Amino acid sequence: MKIISEISELRQQITTWRQQGLKIAFVPTMGNLHAGHISLITEAHRHADKVVASIFVNPMQFGVNEDIGNYPRTMESDQQKLVAANTDLLFTPTPAVIYPKGLDKQSYVEVPNVSDGYCGESRPGHFRGVSTVVCKLFNLVQPDVACFGLKDYQQVQVIQTMVEDLSMPIEIIPVATTREDNGLALSSRNGYLTEEELKIAPALAQNIQWLAQEIKTNNDFVGLAKQATNFINNAGMKTDYIHICHASTLQPASEDDKELVILAAAHCGKARLIDNLQVSL
């Protein structure tokens, strides 16, 4: 695996592969890798000749009350996992490489509507930071395909919308959420959970599963979401939101919608956990 941190060297390698007629897949990450990330690498190999991953803790997507300094950085073990998954190239830029003018003078990309609610409302500016850095990384790597985990369903919708709206020649491949046996979605933030909180956290996924069954016979979506909120709170978590939405637009679901997604976020101790489940009626 080649490890590159400078743009010029990255572009040189991408140009060489392009001249050889090779297809390139890309998996952008913020590091602290787990089995969910590696599933993205595995999927990327199915669609391309070369797989590029990036590790960059993006300061633009952290809010004023979110401590980027505490975000776990595990570069050595991350590299070992990527080597084991046969990753061809790892791009590890610094903030100075990605934002040479600083954040205040950096041009940005904003994706309206799908960025607005849910995590976009709870974390103002978050999706502006996500879409800007992904757009920039896409311009640098120039992949044919890029893989994103469906654990962050709203993020996938934001990226897909950006690619469509800006006419980027990139296929976005959503990859199913990797879970523990108890249903808990794998996340770097699970590392913040205490032993006792790890017993509570699966309640988020369990209540989404309950909702998915209920909405097949009951279209009181608002009432059901309130029930699920109470269940999650009574389990010892603090619900940020739980909504039943149209799967593509992320607008509140109507009784005529057939393709839905349940979006949920809750605080468990220091960790803010997100999860979702798609439902076809």
Residues with a catalytic annotation lie at 37
Provide the H-helix boundaries in the chain. 7-19, 35-45, 75-84, 95-98, 119-122, 126-141, 153-165, 195-200, 203-214, 221-234
Q: How many CB atoms lie within 10 A of CB 280?
A: 8
Q: Are strands 238-246 and 259-268 parallel, antiparallel or unpaired?
A: antiparallel
Tell me which residue of 113, 62, 88 sits closest to 3, measured CA to CA.
88
Rg of the chain's alpha carbons, rounded to an integer?
Answer: 19
Q: What span, in angstroms and rounded, lies between the C-alpha atoms of 86 and 106? A: 34
**Token duo for residue 72:** 């776990």
